Amino acid sequence: MAADMIQVILADDHTVVRRGLKAVLGTAKDIAVIGEAKNGREAIAQVERFKPDVLVMDLDMDEMGGTEALKEIVAKKLPSRVLILTMHAEEEYLVPLLEAGAAGYLVKSVADRELVDAVRAVARGDLYVRQSAAHVLAKRLMRKDPAQAERERYEKLTERERDVLRYIAQGYSAPEIGEKLFISPKTVDTYKQRIQEKMGLSHRSDYVQLALRLGLLVA
């Protein structure tokens, strides 16, 4: 198999559906289906074993559904990206699944026309949703509380990044933080850079204001 081939695993509880999806992907010379699963548990095992570029997975499957499997794949930090392929329209499921870690969402009714493009997009690191689903994302973003979004970004920081953030907000210098966490000042600066990228913080006052808003400090 060529090194630049996109390796895919298909997870759907219907053999006929998997066969059809495999035929659609078979029209693309740069995509190879290397495994199949009939439920979420099998999908996780296949991903752990083969580490495909993309897992194309249904939501409604026996034993373990796609949502639960997605969360476990994300929790285990497996490298494969997950493209949800389902009969459900985007209104109810799209945003929660993207927030859970899915890299794309496609309804089965357009799989024959869009699946190849969706797999390619997800494999190269892009997010894939139908153009007609953009309004779903827009409405959700308009409804989202900025404070909630900020809290969610904070919760995605690693434990060490949170420690560094709190110490900066409390006024400690990089050497002082290094002593407290048993790391070098240079490593502290590396964590600060990561926090800045993830949270959009630059000045110490930004750290203090964020910490106060999230209840990390006593005002």
Which sign does the torsion angle of CA 132, 133, 139, 141 carry?
A: negative
Query: Which tokens belong to 155?
Result: 């919760």
Query: Which tokens belong to 68?
Result: 């639960």
pLDDT 10s digits, 107-116: 999 999 999 9
DSSP 8-class letter at 171: T
pLDDT 10s digits, 131-170: 777 666 666 655 555 667 788 889 999 999 999 999 999 9
Q: Which residues of 181-215 are buried (b: 16+ CB within 10 A; e: fewer)?
A: eebeeebbeebbeebeeebebeeeebbbebbeebe
pTM of the full structure: 0.64
Q: How confident is the model at residue 96 (pLDDT cuts 50, 70, 90)?
A: confident
Q: In DSSP terms, which residues pair with 106 in a beta bridge?
A: 85
2: exposed, middle or buried (C-beta count within 10 Å: 0-12, 13-18, 19+)?
exposed
Q: Which residue has the tokens 């695993």?
A: 9
What radius of gyration do the chain's Cα atoms show? 21
Note the pLDDT of residue 144: 56
Segment (H or E) for 68: helix 66-75
Nearest to 211 by CA among 171, 156, 180: 171
Query: Which tokens belong to 110?
Result: 């357009």
Query: Which tokens belong to 148?
Result: 């909630």
For domain 146-213, give its CATH number from 1.10.10.10, 3.30.750.24, 3.90.1150.10, 1.10.3720.10.
1.10.10.10
Query: Which tokens belong to 154?
Result: 């904070």
Q: How far apart (Å, rounded) are the C-alpha atoms in residues 149 and 140? A: 11
Task: Write down the CATH number for the domain with range 6-140.
Answer: 3.40.50.2300
Q: How far apart (Å, rounded) are the C-alpha atoms in residues 159 and 122? A: 28
Domain boundaries, the chain: 6-140, 146-213
Share of the chain above pLDDT 70, in %: 91
Compute the average pLDDT of residues 20-34: 97
